[in-house]
């Protein structure tokens, strides 16, 4: 056996060793866009960066109109094990503009947002296939300004659930319970919600999601119940990339009128 034969056999052996690893790479599973949180976990040793390039929320009340714009709202997800990922999120800049309907006076503020820290642990099917369930506890650290940030440490727990009905349809549900900072920033109160919907694959690279959410907030300064509906589109031109747009409409008086966002997700 000559040197050339040895090299060929070594190349074949390396290819055989590499092919299982490549086959085990999970489908891209970003948490953007939409109201639900998927149950899938980032691959071990991989990093997912999800950024809301721009996000605008309109909230019209009888006495004022509030426009809030967030720029670069980013979530970093790191695959620690096959069933566990670590997460950190931060909003580098937010701008709030409030116009008084009676006087016409305008109040503006531009600040950074808070930092969120959490982990997501798979309880069933970490790749998101079939019937998948995960647990997601998190805390929010008040590092931002008083207008964009909460001002008080908060915490919460999500239970993402997904079920693949077929190769083209997936059902999603995300119940959540939070220790939400009070509006008056003197403490925390109970906030709980549930989101649900369906994701449809429109082809190899495009998906469409239709979702709804109900949020109950027991703030001492005023208890509210928000009802929301959302529609989002994701486009994955490559295995590790996604571009998205989504819109959320408020369905009752307590909910903000409209939210529009566009973002990008990248796996490294």
Which CATH number is 212's domain given? 2.40.128.130
Mean pLDDT along residues 237-254: 97
Full-model pTM: 0.87
Both tokens assigned to 59:
């909230």
**Cβ distance 133 to 127 under 8 Å?**
no
Q: How confident is the model at residue 6 (pLDDT cuts 50, 70, 90)?
A: very low
CA angle, residues 129, 238, 234, in degrees to nearest 5: 65
Q: Which has the closest alpha carbon to 114: 88, 79, 76?
A: 88
pLDDT score of 2: 52
Q: Within 10 A of 180 (CB to CB), how many other CB atoms are there?
A: 21
**Which residues span the domain enclosing 21?**
3-267
Angle in degrees, CA 145, 254, 185, rounded to 5? 30
* Rounded CA separation 36/33 (Å): 8
Tokens representing residue 176 in the block: 């959540």
**Phi/psi zone of residue 72: left (φ > 0), alpha (ψ -120 to 50 degrees), beta?**
left
> By mean pLDDT, which of 70-79, 100-109, 254-263 is the weakest?
100-109
Q: How many domains does the chain have?
A: 1
Q: Is the peptide bond before 33 cis (omega within 30 degrees of 0)?
A: yes
pLDDT band at 8 (very low <50, low <70, confident <90, very high): low
Please compute the mean of the pLDDT values over residues 36-54 and round it to a whole number: 97
CB contact at 8 A, 134 and 112: no
Across the range 59-78, mean pLDDT stands at 96
Whether the pLDDT of residue 18 is over 80: the answer is: no
Buried b (16+ CB within 10 A) or exposed e, 89-114: bbbebbbbebeeeeeeeeeeeeeebb
Q: How confident is the model at residue 185 (pLDDT cuts 50, 70, 90)?
A: confident
């Amino acid at each position: 056996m000559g040197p050339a034969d040895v090299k060929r056999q070594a190349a074949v052996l390396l290819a055989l060793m590499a092919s299982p690893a490549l086959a085990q790479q999970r489908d891209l599973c970003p948490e953007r866009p939409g109201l639900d949180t998927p149950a899938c976990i980032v691959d071990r040793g991989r990093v997912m960066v999800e950024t809301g390039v721009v996000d605008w929320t309109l909230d019209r009340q009888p006495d004022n109109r509030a426009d809030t714009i967030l720029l670069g709202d980013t979530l970093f997800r790191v695959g620690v094990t096959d069933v566990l990922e670590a997460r950190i999120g931060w909003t580098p800049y937010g701008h709030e503009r409030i116009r008084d309907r009676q006087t016409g006076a305008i109040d503006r503020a531009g600040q950074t947002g808070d930092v969120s820290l959490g982990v997501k642990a798979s309880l069933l099917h970490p790749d998101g296939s079939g019937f998948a369930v995960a647990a997601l506890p998190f805390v929010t650290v008040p590092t931002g300004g008083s207008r964009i940030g909460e001002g008080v440490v908060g915490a919460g727990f999500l239970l993402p659930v997904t079920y693949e009905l077929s190769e083209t349809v997936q059902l999603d549900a995300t119940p959540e319970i939070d220790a939400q900072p009070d509006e008056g920033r003197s403490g925390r109160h109970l906030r709980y919600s549930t989101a649900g919907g369906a994701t449809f694959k429109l082809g190899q690279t495009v998906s469409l999601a239709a979702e709804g959410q109900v949020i109950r907030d027991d703030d001492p300064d005023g208890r509210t119940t928000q009802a929301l509906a959302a529609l989002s589109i994701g486009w994955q031109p490559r295995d590790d990339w996604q571009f998205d747009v989504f819109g959320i409409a408020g369905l009752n008086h307590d909910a903000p009128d409209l939210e529009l966002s566009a973002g990008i997700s990248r796996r490294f």
